[in-house]
Amino acid sequence: MNNSTALFACSKCFKRYPFEELSSGQQLCKECRGTYPVVKCTYCRSEFQQMNKVSTSTICNKCEHNVKLYGKPSACEYCNIIAAFIGNKCQRCTNSEKKYGPPVTCEQCKQKCAFDRKDDDKKVDGKLLCWLCTLSFKRALAKTKQSDADRRAHMKLVAQKNKTKEVKMRSHNKRPQRVDVTKLGATGNDANTQDGHSGGGPGGQPPLKLPRSGNHRTHPGDPLDANSSDHVVAMTQLKEQMASLQKQLSQKDAIILSKDKMITELKAKHFTAEQELRTKMNNEQKDFEKKVEMMSSKIKQLQKEVATLSKSNKKHLGGSTASGAGSGSGTDSPSIT
């Protein structure tokens, strides 16, 4: 198969699609992304993804199986979650109690449903929280991080706009103002007539020298040269930096794309190998059951033959004993004279 027509498996339905049609994060197809939402279980309150288009049940597969076996659950005496199928405790609290001991008071909801793991790293923000409060805190923390990222991006955009405005204003202020030649000429003549020479009096100012008309070349750093101003240099540096960053970004995107393709291929290989192993295991199970059935029937047949042989032996032994007893009575009886 060519690379242009290569197909990759969805991580949920395992149907094969082109790589561009799968999501970059979880490798989901469009159907799985839009059709199967993530909901909370009515009983155990854990999140799961609905995998049935027709049924909109909010009960996970584990709780649904337990409902069929044990009926509807009751509220747990520790966490008050309606997930106690056996006894008065849910499976989560039962396992935690066996592992960490009796529950303690949660610092958030003030209920006696948290379990101390004797590890400060396991605490949430330095607090000992129960399972539900831990989920709520992590969810709120994720939303806060997302909002902070959006706010930082917005502030960065505003700062860039303000910087651009400042650069424009700075470049505008650096433009040389036009000089009125008639006023300069008049002022210079008055000064020359009053002082008697072109240098001006002791308190006077020398006349400004006008740039020569014609082929006058501006030197680097000349304020009249717009191409040598600081903002042009800054803009050139920013453009070069942006080009370099875009090049690095394209390289990173290519690396991420190759990694995603590799992950999808590995998932597809894993799924194929798992299917083959399951098929092989089922076939071996069937062969084993057939062999056991054949051996059982053979054992029953042999047991019947053994029973038949034992019965025939008993009959044969009984007849020979009776005949021996009859012959002995005839020879040993005394004769009557």
- 146-51-63 Cα angle (round to 5): 95
The amino acid sitting at 156 is K
Local confidence band at 52 (pLDDT 50, 70, 90 cut-offs): low
Cα–Cα distance measured from residue 269 to residue 327, given in angstroms and rounded to the nearest whole number: 87
**Residue 78: CB partners within 8 Å, gap ≥ 6?**
89, 90, 93, 97, 103, 111, 112, 113
**Residue 95: CB partners within 8 Å, gap ≥ 6?**
none
State residue 155's pLDDT score. Answer: 77
Q: Give 142 or 237, the one with higher predicted confidence.
A: 237
Most confident of the ranges 43-52, 212-221, 247-256:
247-256
- 159-162-166 Cα angle (round to 5): 135
166's tokens: 């400042």
Cα–Cα distance measured from residue 276 to residue 280, given in angstroms and rounded to the nearest whole number: 6
45's tokens: 């309150």
SS3 223: coil
Most confident of the ranges 177-181, 224-228, 267-271:
267-271
State residue 284's pLDDT score. Answer: 92
Residues 82 and 43: beta-carbon distance below 8 Å: yes
Cα–Cα distance measured from residue 285 to residue 279, given in angstroms and rounded to the nearest whole number: 10
Comparing 141-145, 211-215, 273-277, 282-286, which segment has the lowest mean pLDDT? 211-215
- 260-262-265 Cα angle (round to 5): 110
Q: Give 84 or 336, the one with higher predicted confidence.
A: 84
279's tokens: 């098929």
